[in-house]
Amino acid sequence: MASASELVTELETFYKGYIDAFNREDIDMYTQTFAFPYAVIIGEKGLALCQDESAHQRFYTNISISLKERGWARSGIDQVKAWPYAENLAMILADVTRYRADNSVIEKVRATYTLRREGKNWKIVALSEVKPPFLGPGAVPRL
C-alpha cells in the first residue's frame, strides 16, 4: 500500500503531465488523463457529462479555439495541492496562469479535480472552477 506522501507525489506528477499534454496540444495524451464518462461542474450551468472520447475531443477543441482567440500560448502551474482519499481516489486543487506568447497574463484560474486510479494511471472523473474570491477546499491562499 502506498503512503499518503507517495500518493501526493503521484498526483502532482499526474497534474504536471496533464498540463504538459494540454500545452503541447497533444489531444491523445490529454484524453488519456480522463475517465469516461467524466463531469464538468459549473456553478452557473450545473453538471455537464462528457460521455466518451468523441465528446471529449469536441469539448477540448472548443476550449482550445476559445483560448487561442484570446491569445493563449501556454499555461503555467502556480501551485498544486493533492489530497488522497484512498489508494484509488483523490482530489487536486490547482492554480494555473494562462499566458500569451509574449508572456503577458490572460488570466489566473483555480480548479479542483476529482481523480480515481484506473490500473496504474490516475484519471479525472470531475472538474470544477473555483471562482474568486472563494478559495475552495482547504482554504489554500491563491498565488
Query: What averages of pLDDT result for each successive group of 10 residues across the chain (143 residues)?
Result: 93 98 95 97 90 93 94 98 97 98 98 96 97 94 91
Determine the pLDDT at residue 131. Answer: 95
In 3D space, the residue among 77, 96, 82 whose CA is nearest the CA of residue 124 turns out to be 82
Determine the pLDDT at residue 47. Answer: 93
Determine the pLDDT at residue 1. Answer: 81
Residues 6+ apart with CB under 8 A from 21: 29, 30, 32, 33
Determine the pLDDT at residue 58. Answer: 92
Class of domain 4-131: alpha beta
Determine the pLDDT at residue 122. Answer: 98
Q: How does DSSP assign 109-141, residue by residue?
A: EEEEEEEEEETTEEEEEEEEE--TT---GGGPP
Rounded-to-integer distance, Cα 33 and Cα 78, Å: 20
Count CA within 13 A, CB hemisphere, residue 112: 16
Determine the pLDDT at residue 43. Answer: 84
pTM of the shown model: 0.94
Determine the pLDDT at residue 2. Answer: 86
